[in-house]
Amino acid sequence: MSTFYDHFERHGKGLANRVTHYCPGCGHGLAHRDLAAAIDELGVQDRTVLISPVGCSVFAYYYFDVGNTQAAHGRAPAVALGHKLANPDAVVISYQGDGDLASIGLAETISIAQLGIPITVIFINNGIYGMTGGQMAPTSLVGQKTSTSPEGRDSAMGQPLRVAELIAQLDGPVYVERVALYDARQRTKARKAIAKALRLQVEGRGYAFVEVLSECPTHLKVTPDAAEAWIRTQMEPVFPLGVKKDSMVEPWFRRPPPSFDAETVLALSGAEPTQDRAEGPARRHRLGARGRSLKLAGAGGDGAQTAALLLARAAIAEGFDATHIPSYGPESRGGTSYADVNIAEEEVLNPSAAEPDVLVAFNAPSLARFASTVPEGGLILYDSTVITEPGELPERRRVLGVPFTGIAVGLKQPMVKNLVALGALQAASAILPAPRILGALREVLKHKRAALPVNEAAFAAGQAAVAQARA
């Protein structure tokens, strides 16, 4: 039995250092022996990582000579999953009691079972809290007296949770069985079930769950043989034994080792080595010490954020510092969508646009809300297709109505109204040279080349509309 340590250090040196801390007659020891036997038989001691829970088996790591991690109450399956994904070759076992698995950790239990990633969960169900001293468990029977159900559990305290059945109806697990330890026949089945659950993981076939009805003579306040009888006569009718799920699954769990290839990482980051860049060096159009602050405001779907991002990209390509901050209403579509863009020659200090030099308004509420925030000498651009009556706007600002939507509809692509707006903005403000903005557009659409012509046309049409208005 090499998987057990030769001495259990918890008890220090001496004669007692080969016995467990479990009470006489406790089922944990039997389950431990079954698990150790399974690890031995499969020859996976070196690869095994055992997650000990909070509960009586918190000290499982004193006994099992394997890699050991001790988890917070209820979280063992999450910890097990972290281990398994970190090293898919590890054989990871989450060993948990009923309070841990079926009460505080229920969300982890179910969600991680449903992932189906091969780990092995051993669930010791003894119908009571052991470590904290005999309180009611989620699996306590109706009528069972515990220290927190002193008159017996009634249904309003919750009825016993049949976890094996719960897990078996999930798609993730490949094998679920409930076993018991109360007689020789059941013990044989338990040993086989635990071995099978572990083998399914070793073979990469999937997640396996074994619920073990286990005796807690101490907190049932009976002798070990009476505890066995209690499991057989009282618990088993509520928790029927047997295989709850057993899917034939071919080995499937294989993970490639992580890649640390620099080129792949750069490509995924969207970075391009400098010599590959098509564009020339930054030209440094002048902005003045204060830089520029812009607000693009509309509804979700107007494209304000995309336009803002193009401005920021173009500015950075120009050699400036630039920031873009989006803000949205809670709706995914049709809610407010505001974009703050700031551009500075050296460093953007304030990334918000509380007093924008330029406002681009895609709808009337945005115009009404932000027009007054534009300081004197600023520029207000709005979509004159949508905003037919702009109302009273502050004086001493340049105000330009351009039919963003109308022009875009004329191009048979209403979605490009943001590019019309950008073209108009470029022509009206000359904040950035047009080729920079078009360069940013090409960059953003490099995987959607087909969309480029209509976007470029929209930009040009926006520029032309402003030129025409001037003429």
Partner 1 sequence: MPATARERPFLEPAYCKGCLRCVEVCPKDCITPGTAVYPGTGLIPVELRLDACNGCGLCIAACPEPFGLRTQSETAHVEHAAQEYLLQDPTELFGSKIVEGSPIRERPAKAIPLQECAPLVLKGTYASAIGAVLAGCRHVFGYPITPSTEGAELMAKMLPKLGGSFVQAVSEVAAVNMMYGAGAAGVPSMTFTSSPGFSLMLEGISYMIGAEVPGVFVNVMRGGPGLGNIGPEQADIKLACRGLGHGNTHALVLAPSTPQEMLDLTMEAFALSFRYRNPVVILGDGYLGQMTGAVRLPSRMFRPGLPSWCVWGDRAHRTNLICSIMLAEPDLEAHNLRLNAKYAAICAEEQRADAYRCEDARVLVIACNTPSRMAKGAVEAAREHGIAAGLLRPITLWPFPIDALKELLPHVEHIIVVEASPGQLEDEMRLALSHAGIQPPPITSVRRLGGMLPQQAEILAGIRESQEVRV
C-beta of 266 vs 430, nearer to partner 1: 266
428/415 Cα distance (integer angstroms): 22
Instruction: Give start and end residues of each alpha helix (H) in 52-183.
Output: 76-86, 98-99, 106-115, 163-168
Q: Give the nearer residue to partner 1 in terms of CB position, either 267 or 469.
A: 267
**Nearest approach, Cβ of residue 29 and partner 1 (Å):** 3
Three-class DSSP category at 315: helix
Minimal distance in Å, beta carbon 405 to partner 1? Answer: 26
Maximum C-alpha span of the chain: 103
Nearer to partner 1, 52 or 429 (CB): 52
Least distance from partner 1 to the Cβ atom of residue 381, Å:
21
Q: At which residue do the structure tokens 């690869």 appear?
A: 47
- Cβ contact 163:108 at 8 Å: no
- How far, in Å, CA of 169 to CA of 246, rounded? 11
**Closest distance between partner 1 and the C-beta of residue 431, in Å?**
16
In whole angstroms, the minimum distance from the beta carbon of 66 to partner 1 comes to 6
The DSSP bridge pattern shows strands 292-299 and 120-125 to be unpaired
Q: Which residues contact 292 (CB under 8 A, 6 or more apart)?
A: 342, 343, 344, 357, 358, 429, 431
Amino acid at residue number 13:
K
Query: In the bound complex, what is the minimum distance in angstroms from residue 391's beta carbon to partner 1?
Result: 27
Burial class (CB in 10 A: 0-12, 13-18, 19+), 203: middle
Compare residues 1 and 467 and give the one whose CB is closer to partner 1: 1
Query: In this complex, which beta carbon is closest to partner 1, that of residue 2 or of residue 372?
Result: 2
Task: State which residue, 240 or 351, has the beta carbon closest to partner 1.
Answer: 351
Q: In terms of CB distance, is 154 or 225 closer to partner 1?
A: 225
What spatial distance separates the first Cα and last Cα of the chain, rounded to whole Å?
A: 94
Beta strands in 362-421 (DSSP E): 379-383, 398-402
- For residue 1, the minimal CB distance to partner 1 (Å) is 6
Q: Which of 250, 132, 114, 244 is nearest to 179 (CA)?
A: 244
